[in-house]
Each structure stands twice: as structure tokens, then as C-alpha cells.
Structure 1
Amino acid sequence: MSTSKNSLSDFFFFPGVRWLLFVVLTCLVFSSVLGSFLPGLMTDLAANYSDTAKFESSLYTLMGYFFLVYFNRVAYQLGINRYVLKLVQQVRTNVYEKWLLAFEVQAKEKGRDNYPQGEVMSRIMSDTMAIRELMTSGTFGILIDIFFVLACLISLVRINQVSGIFLAVTEVGVAILLIWGGKYMRKVFHDVRKSRGMVSQSVANVVGGLGETYFTNHGNYASKTATVQFTDFLYKQLKANVWDASYYSVAESLYPLLLALMVFIFPHSGITQAAVIFAIVDLIQRSIGPIKNIAGKITNIQRAATGIQRINEFTEDLAKAPRSPKDQVYQPIEMQELRVSIPHFQYHTKHEEDEIPFQLTDINFVGKTGELVGLVGLSGCGKSTVLNILASNIIPEKADIELLKTDKSSLHFPGESLEEIVNYRQQISLVSQDSHIFTESLRFNISLSNDENLEFDKFWAWVCEKIPYLKSWGIDPGENITPDSLSLGQNQLVCGLRACFLKRPVVLFDEISSALDSELELALREVVLLVQEQSLTIIVAHRLETILEASRIIVMDHGKIIASGTHHELLSAVPQYQKFMDEMTS
């Protein structure tokens, strides 16, 4: 595993779990102490069989002994269960937080894999589920069994040295052999898990996460990437199944083999008491369980190990990119204009033989506070890529986006430092169909604060006067909303009101007015106009009514700006704009 010692320490030892680890360690030590007494107790039980009083005393002693074993295991299991619960919560929260705070970087030397939200959630859930399976499958019980059996073997050596050493060496050798054989299984399961991730990624990239599309006869008009990845996944899963079956068959033959070996060694051990033989057979019965469990649970252990490795690889990859600090304080600025210069940008390919990726070339324009700038063009022209760069969702290598302040100082993106990237991102609001709605009150979703304040109350009264739809909607600011309770248009409206309330200098709208009813579409257009009063508003236009109101329209084609102007100027002079208008009105 490539995980460093520091990473492992951070992974398993985090605030709030020291007392749980102390409980678990104490139970393991106590289990060893109890195990050291068992061979002697079993020998005494057999030796006292002919003496009723001593036999009953031995039975009572064993009864108390097994109560101690039981309560120790209960305490151990409760401690482990609680620890795994906190571990899974910690990992899921930290990994998702790192993904949220990380910027996507396009570097000259190599491209980074893009992590869509669906894939991130799938990766976090599946990999941490493997850790949780160690608890639900009882795999952690093997650890306390091993401590118990090892102590029993040491105690048996004191009773009969030859038999004890022989049995100990044999069982340890068998366990090592099973673990050694499991090394290849780990690689097999890692390949399966990685292949499953590639299937999820390819399907998410092609169809936005609709996994069942693979099983739909699409007539060869869709991408075949998912087919290749799924075929590879099925092959590797079959290989893992064969290894699983082989491993279990070997493990099931261990018990009779150990008994036969002990019968062979008895004449050389000098054992003269049947009670000692009774204790040895009892110990074999007890120790064969943990050994078989190593084989039976090795798949769970390997899945958890590969899950931890994949999580570590994922977080290490995210660590290579710049990220926003959690405690960053918003620093508002008074912006005069935005100057955009993107000489060149292209998406990276993983293989040189891949076809030439999409490129942006010579993207230059200026926007001022109070303007509404429309980005238009046929599908695939690059307007959404430009919007993602402006939103700092992508940090290009060759670009300079300058926010010129009213005091004539400037803020540059990407700039020369992470601080400039973070400060720039704070000045931008993005409203799209993917904008997030929290399961919280409407007030929180707009203001991003639970604090009661007069500023929001004034804002709400003002927008209700400006946007009649809010009154007809009949929603109260204190009412809780969820993403499922809102229509697509209402989702966009709430996010638009958020942008209006937060008053960022630059507000970006992506596909905000597509497929909506007329009343809601009018409300969204009114929100755009309210935002425009206090910010530079840039909108990817998909409806004629939106671009008619734009101060300036930028026409894109094949990653380039081919024209800009007002609607009437472009309609008579730019054929591509005329074609775009024909598509929107058809």
C-alpha cells in the first residue's frame, strides 16, 4: 500500500477515539490473560472426572471463566463497533470536504482525472462500506480470537513442550500460508474495485449516472466506452470469484489435517495423561476457528485494505490541486469591470492517440458592473467551458481574468498564488441547474446563514414587490425546503435570489431559462434584471427573450469568439447568430 505512515496515523487515529482504542486494547490484553488459563483448566477438568467434588468445582470455575470471556468479548465488540462507526463518519466527511474545497486544475504536463459528484459519492460510499463490512461480517472478532489462541498455545507449551511447540508452529505456519496466498487476492480485488470505479466514471460521463443505459439497446449511436469498461469489470470479477472458491476449499480441509498431525506427534511427545490429550484436542477445536476465519474473512479484509488504499490515492490526488481554506473570510470588493483573456485552453486526453480535444482560442472580452452579457452559440461551441473558467471551476494554465476595482487596483485569476484564486472565487456567484439546495429553511438557502437579521427581511419584502411570483408561490422564509420539494424552475429561482442577496460583483447564469412555465420563466428573468442592477451578469442564453435584454451578446463558434454586439447588430451581420436564432425559434 502506498499510504504513508503519517497518512495511516491520520486515517485511524483522530480526535475522539482514544478512549475507544483504549477499551479495545484492554479487551485484547485481558483476552490473552484468559487464554493463558484455558489449557490448565481443561486439563484439570479431565483429570478430576473421577472425583465428584473436584469435578464440580472445576465445572463452576469454567462457568465463571466463560462468563468472563463472554463479557470481555461483548465489551470488545461494542468498542470496535463504535470505533468503526466514527471511522466511517470521519472518512466520509473528510474526503467529501476535500473534494468540495479542491479546484480542478488543467496543467501543461498532465491532466487530472475529473471527479464528477456522482462518482465521488459512489467512491466514498463503496470504499467506506468495505470498512464497515469488517464489523458487520464479524471480521474484527478474528483479532480477539487470535490473541486468545496464542495465549492458549503458550500455556500449552508449559504443559507439554513438544506438542505445544509443534501445534503452535503448525498453526502459525498455516495462518502465514493463508495470508501469503491472500496477497494475490488483494491485487485481484483491487483490480475489481478499480474496474468498477472505471465503469461508474464512464457511465457517469456518458449518461450522467444513469447506469441502466448500459443494458439498453442504443443502436450504436452512443459511446462504447462503458461497454469496454464493463467487459473488463466482468472478467476481473470472474477471476476474483475463482480465487475465492479455491481459498475456501483449502481452509475447510485444515481441521482433519491438524488432528492427523497431532496423532502422529503424540508418541514422540511423552504424553502419559489422557487429560493433556483432552486439552490439546479442545485447543485444536478452538484454534481452527480463527484460522478458518482468516480464510473466510480474507476477502473482507482485502476489500477493506483496497478501499483504504483507493481513498488514500483519491485524497492524495486531490491534495495535488489548490484548495480553498475552510476558514477563509469573504473580502468584498467594489468592481469596475471584468477583463477576460484566455489565449488558449484545451481539455487533456489520457492517450496520445486520442483525437484532438476541444480547445478555446483567443477568448477576449470586457464586462462592466451593471451590464448583462449573453454568451450564445450552437451546442459544443465552448460557452459552458468559458463559464466554468470564469466560475473558477477550472483553473487554466494560460489565462488572465482581471477584476479591476474602483480604486484602480486589480485582482487576477489564476494569478500567482492560491490566495488570489480563493479571493477571486469569493467574488463570483454561479447559478445553474446544478446549484445546490440545502435541506434547510428558505431563509438559509438564500442568505446562507441561520441568523435572524433585518437585512434579509428588507430584502425579502423588496423582492416580493419586484417578483409577483413569490407572492403567488406563498412560501414563507422560515419554511423548510428540500431539493425534492422544488421544481427545477423553483430551484433555479431560489439560487438566483441567493446570488441577488449575496451581491457578488460577478454573477454567472447557466441554462437558467430552459424548459420552464411562463410565470416562472418571467420570475427568473426578473431575478436576472435585479442582479444586473448591482453586478456584472454573464448568462449562457438558451431562450430568445433572455438575449434580447442583454447589453451585449458574444457569439461563439468552435471555441472562438466570432462576433459581439447587440441583438439587432448581430442578426443582420452574423450568419452563425442567425442560425442560432433559427434553432431557438424552431
Structure 2
Amino acid sequence: MAITGNALDLSLIKRVLRYARPYRKIFFWSIVLTITLAVLAPLRPWMIEYTVDKYISVNDLRGLELMILLMFVALLLEVFVKYTHTFYTNVLGQSVVRDMRTDTFNHITSLRLKYFDKTPIGTLITRNVSDLETIGDVFSQGLIIIIGDILQIITIMLVMFYTDWELTLVVLAPIPLLMLATYIFKEAIKASFQQVRTEVARLNAFLQEHITGMSVVQLFAREKQEMAKFKTINGRHRDAHIRSNLYYSIFFPVVEIVSAISLGLLVWYGAKGVLQGVTSPGVLVSFLLYISMLFRPIRELADRFNTLQMGMVSAERIFKVLDTKEQTPDTGQHAPSRVEGAIRFDKVWFAYTDEQYVLKDISFSVKPGETLALVGATGAGKSSVINLLNRFYEINKGTIEIDGKNIREYKLESLRSSIATVLQDVFLFSDTVSNNISIRNPEISLERMAQAAREVGADNFIRKLPGGFDYNVMERGATLSAGQAQLLSFIRALVYDPAILILDEATASVDTETEELIQNAILRLMEGRTSIVIAHRLSTIQHADKIIVLDRGEIIEQGTHQELLKLNGSYKRLYDLQFNSSGVGSPAGSLRVPSGKQ
């Protein structure tokens, strides 16, 4: 489907309306109330016309009092219908927004990491928040209201023609000028709204990135430079809004001028008719009200149309996200209750972009319960191995197996629940300690979390926190030290009881005092599990069952620590560089493989 963002793009409107299907009753009553309002619109002017001609002109006070009472009843009825109509259309709009927001968020969480590598997070936030609010306005202030305004215009014009067709033709003479102005306004505001939404997305993306990375901005004293960039982006955002407001400031006076011309024609032609006795005073009075009621929806119709236009621009952007086909295919059916943990990479080739391979013909195997260490310079491909094992990215060539089965044959949830990854940069949500550990999994009890905390030696610091497991760690764990955040990630891994454990430089960001505590936690985590350890410090992996040295995406050496030292190759040079240059022989804190694995 070609999405253009045009307000009258029927295919786009139909797609938005599909989200209203579960709310058919509300939608139906919204339409019924819209038609009712259109029918009620000319009722009071007609009653005034009747009152002037039948009662006021003949000094009938009792009849006048009766008509005033009837007009009051009609007013109450119209107020009630308007209230109900406004309520239903807003309920409909917010219900649609809720469902679309749920679908959008669910779709975003299903996308592979490659999509997030090239899409600013602030842009996705804009899609899921402000763009969707604009779609809510399509129902509460746009589509249904436009239908109501058009029906009201048609109803009033029919009543006017029925009452006095000659006077109606005179009064409506300036309408073609208004139609021309409306068309020009519509085309101008369309481009303006598209620019507004683009600048909003840019502004959100800039703010999200710079607030998240504020420590970097301040560390390098870049406040003034980044402020200059922000002023530029904010200025473009302001200019886009000013342009849209400029079109409004031109259009609305034009509508008022046309309305004044129509009113002047009514006074001129209608008064002449009254003096000549061909037009009754009641008709003249009612036409004064009809003109006001006619031009109000015409003036607002352009505004409603632009609400619809803005909603369609937002819908175009949201459906572009929903139409993104970058999910990891979840077609596998294999979902064992527990995997053994045997891992095998067979001639694996992988590239993040095109054919710029970051892994080249990688082959290795790990038996259940063994520890594999990956060593190499930054960019050698170590983290790519982790990403591929979790199917965050898809390989270009070769196969990856767990327990003899291709990982594509596993259900995605089953595969990832069997693997726990502890990263160097621990991400914690702005939530309680318990929710950060369990990721809000109701199957993980507080008792289980407390037991895991004791096993990894983290219960002491958690008890000291105000509220213990109910303590809010704030965004990205800002209120915790790096070591404490790392310990929480170990507890998180332990409570999920994975068969395969991945440690990505898990001790790189902690102090020496905390490192020993973390080393003990690592030993507890590795017991009975297949482990892959990524390390720059060779002191942490000397007792691994197998060490693989990667260089530019290729395996250049593999073996045990002693075997690699005897090769006198890259591993030996890296070992000498880290230890001998500093006079360190066999550093403390090395990774001690649990008993039975050496």
C-alpha cells in the first residue's frame, strides 16, 4: 500500500478505521448523534422565524411564551446530544489510540537490533506518543466532526432554499470565493504539518540522546556547542509552527470577510424584500442566524480537515513502523523444558551491513558445562558471537547449533530464556530492585530473589538499601555503584536459571574490593552451566576449558591457557603485555573454574 499522508487517502483512512472495529457500537452511536446534531441545527432559527411572524408581529404574548419554552427545551436537547456526542467520540478516539499504541510498542519490541542501530530512539518515542495522540484527534475532532459539519451545512442550506430560494442564492453568492480560499489553505497547511511532525521527531531524538548522554556532554565541556545545536533544531521547530499559524492567520480573516459580504447582501436584499412585502421579518431574522450557523462549520471545516490531515501524516509514520519487516523470524517449534548447553558454530559468516564481514568462517564447539573464553582486540568480533547466539542478528552463512539443533528451529522465547547474558554496561530500569531482578515476571517470587542474592553475596548491600528489594534504583541504576548494579545483573541471571551463561567483561567496570565479591558470584553462576566469557583481562580466563583468540573476525588461535602460551603467538604477546610489563606474575582474582571442570 502506498501511503501518501493525504487527508483523503481512503486506503489510509480505512486502515485507521480498522482499529475502530472492536468499538462498533460506540462508532455507530457517534454517527447517529452526528446526524441528530445536523438535524437539530436549523431547528431554533426556524422556531425564531415562526415566533416573529406568528406571535410577535401580532402581539400574541401567550404564544410567545409557549415558543420561548419550546426553544428552551430544544436548547436543552441540543446540549445533551452535543455532550453525549463529544463523550462518545473521545472514548472512541482514545480506545483506538490505546490499541494502536499497544500494537506499535509490541511491534517495536519484536524488531531485531539491526533496526535500532539505524533508527533514533527519540523518533520511535515520537511515533508511540505524540503521533498517536494526533490520531486520537482524528476521531474526537476530525473525521466524525467533519461528517457532522458537512451534514449541518447541507441541512441548513436545504432549509434556507425551502424558506426563500432567491434570498438563499444571493446570500450564498460569495461561497465560491470561500471554496477557493479553503482549497489553497488546505494545500499550504498540508506541507506545513508534515514539516511540523518532522521537526518534532528531530527535537525528541536530540533531547533523548543528549539527556541520556549528559555525562559525556559535561565530561568534555560540550554544553555550549550542544546548546548551539539545540537552538538550531529548536529554531526550525519554531519556524515550522509559525508557518502553519501564518496560514491560519490569513485564512480565518478571509472567512470573516466572505461572511461579512454574505451578511451585507442579506441586509441589502432581505431588507428590500421586507419593505416590498415579499419577505417576512421572521425570514430575515432567521437568515441572520442561518448565516452565522453556516459559516461557523465552514470556517471550522478547514480546521477539522487539517486535524484529519495531521492525523493522516502521523498515521503514515506509524504504519511505516508497523510495516517494517525486520523481525527475527520465529518459525521454530523446538521448545525443550531444559537444554543441555552444547554449542556449535559451523563455518559462520556474519556482516552487520552488506558484505563487510565481522565474523569470517568461524567454527568452534563447547560441551555442556564447559567454559569458553573469547579474547581479542576491540572490534575482533567477540560481542557479535553473543548477538548471533541470541539471534539478535541473523547470520549470512553457516549454522549455529545448541544441543545439535539449529537455533532457528527453536522457538525464540525458548532459545533466549535458556541463555543469560551479563553485560559490562548493566541496564537497570527506573523501578524497584525486585522488578529489575525479575523483569516483572510473576513466576519469580521474592523468596527466590532473596535466595539468589544470598548465593551471589549481594544480600548484604540490598538489606542496607532503604526499603530493601522495594528500593527504587532510578533510571539506569543511577543511585547504585557499578559493582552493585553488576551484582543485581548476576541475581537476575541466577533467578532465571539459564543453561547457558554469557559474561561480557563483567568485572571491567568495578573496583578491586568489589571485584572479589563479583568473582565469587561468577563462580556461583557458572556451576553446572555452559559459559562463554568475553574478557580483555586475561587474568579472568586462565582456567577456562578453551580459549579462542579472534582477530578481525577470524579465529587465529584456540586452546587452553597453557597450550596458547606454548604457541608463542598472539595470546602469548597479549599475556606478556598485560602481566610482564607491570611486573605481575599470576594476578589474583583470576577466574577459578568450579571443581571438576579443570
TM-score, length-scaled by structure 1? 0.78
Pairing partner for 1:442 from 429, 434, 456: 434
Alpha-carbon offset, residue 132 of structure 1: 4.6
User: Relative to structure 1, is the Cα distance of residues 580 and 127 closer, same or farther in structure 2, using a 3 angstrom cutoff?
Assistant: farther
Alpha-carbon offset, residue 387 of structure 1: 1.9
Contact 1:399 1:414 in 2 (8 A): no
Work out the CA distance in 2 between the residues paired with 1:217 and 1:452. Answer: 44
Contact 1:101 1:323 in 2 (8 A): no
2:32 is the counterpart of 1:23: no
Corresponding residue number in structure 2 for 1:309 = 316
Corresponding residue number in structure 2 for 1:286 = 293
Pairing partner for 1:78 from 68, 84, 87: 87
Corresponding residue number in structure 1 for 2:397 = 398
- Secondary structure of the equivalent of 1:429? strand
Contact 2:96 2:136 in 1 (8 A): no
Structure 2 counterparts to residues 428-577 of structure 1, below 5 A: 428-432=419-423, 433=425, 435=427, 437=429, 439=431, 442=434, 445-446=437-438, 449-451=441-443, 457=447, 460-461=450-451, 463=452, 466-474=455-463, 479-480=469-470, 482-484=472-474, 487=480, 488-518=482-512, 520-543=514-537, 545-567=539-561, 570=564, 573-574=569-570, 577=574
Corresponding residue number in structure 1 for 2:590 = none
Shifted more, 136-145 versus 503-512: the winner is 136-145
Contact 1:340 1:364 in 2 (8 A): yes
Contact 2:348 2:395 in 1 (8 A): no
Work out the CA distance in 2 between the residues paired with 1:364 and 1:114. Answer: 29
Structure 2 counterparts to residues 353-364 of structure 1, below 5 A: 359-364=358-363
Contact 2:112 2:393 in 1 (8 A): yes
Corresponding residue number in structure 1 for 2:258 = 257
Shifted more, 372-381 versus 159-168: the winner is 159-168
Contact 2:432 2:473 in 1 (8 A): no
Corresponding residue number in structure 1 for 2:16 = 8
Work out the CA distance in 2 between the residues paired with 1:211 and 1:144. Answer: 53
Structure having the higher Rg: 2
Identical aligned residues as a percent:
19
Corresponding residue number in structure 2 for 1:46 = 52
Work out the CA distance in 1 between the residues paired with 2:581 and 2:357. Answer: 24
Runs of at least 5 residues in structure 2 that lack an aligned partner in the other structure: 5-10, 585-598
User: Relative to structure 1, is the Cα distance of residues 83 and 136 closer, same or farther in structure 2, using a 3 angstrom cutoff?
Assistant: closer
Pairing partner for 2:112 from 103, 109, 114: 103
- Secondary structure of the equivalent of 2:98? helix
User: Relative to structure 1, is the Cα distance of residues 475 and 300 closer, same or farther in structure 2, using a 3 angstrom cutoff?
Assistant: farther
User: Relative to structure 1, is the Cα distance of residues 465 and 70 closer, same or farther in structure 2, using a 3 angstrom cutoff?
Assistant: closer
Aligned residues: 555
Work out the CA distance in 2 between the residues paired with 1:481 and 1:89. Answer: 30
User: Relative to structure 1, is the Cα distance of residues 117 and 246 closer, same or farther in structure 2, using a 3 angstrom cutoff?
Assistant: closer
- Secondary structure of the equivalent of 1:392? coil
1:532 partner letter = M
Structure 2 counterparts to residues 82-97 of structure 1, below 5 A: 82-97=91-106
Corresponding residue number in structure 2 for 1:121 = 125
Q: Please tell me the root mean square deviation across aligned C-alpha atoms, in Å.
A: 4.5
User: Relative to structure 1, is the Cα distance of residues 250 and 202 closer, same or farther in structure 2, using a 3 angstrom cutoff?
Assistant: closer
Contact 2:97 2:132 in 1 (8 A): yes
Alpha-carbon offset, residue 249 of structure 1: 1.0
Alpha-carbon offset, residue 338 of structure 1: 0.6
Structure 2 counterparts to residues 407-426 of structure 1, below 5 A: 410-414=404-408, 423-426=414-417
Alpha-carbon offset, residue 552 of structure 1: 3.1
Corresponding residue number in structure 2 for 1:427 = 418
Contact 2:334 2:411 in 1 (8 A): no
Work out the CA distance in 2 between the residues paired with 1:67 and 1:211. Answer: 60
Alpha-carbon offset, residue 467 of structure 1: 2.9
2:547 partner letter = I
Corresponding residue number in structure 1 for 2:246 = 245
Contact 1:437 1:483 in 2 (8 A): yes
- Secondary structure of the equivalent of 2:397? coil
TM-score, length-scaled by structure 2? 0.77
- Secondary structure of the equivalent of 1:450? coil
Pairing partner for 2:344 from 339, 348, 371: 339
User: Relative to structure 1, is the Cα distance of residues 86 and 199 closer, same or farther in structure 2, using a 3 angstrom cutoff?
Assistant: same
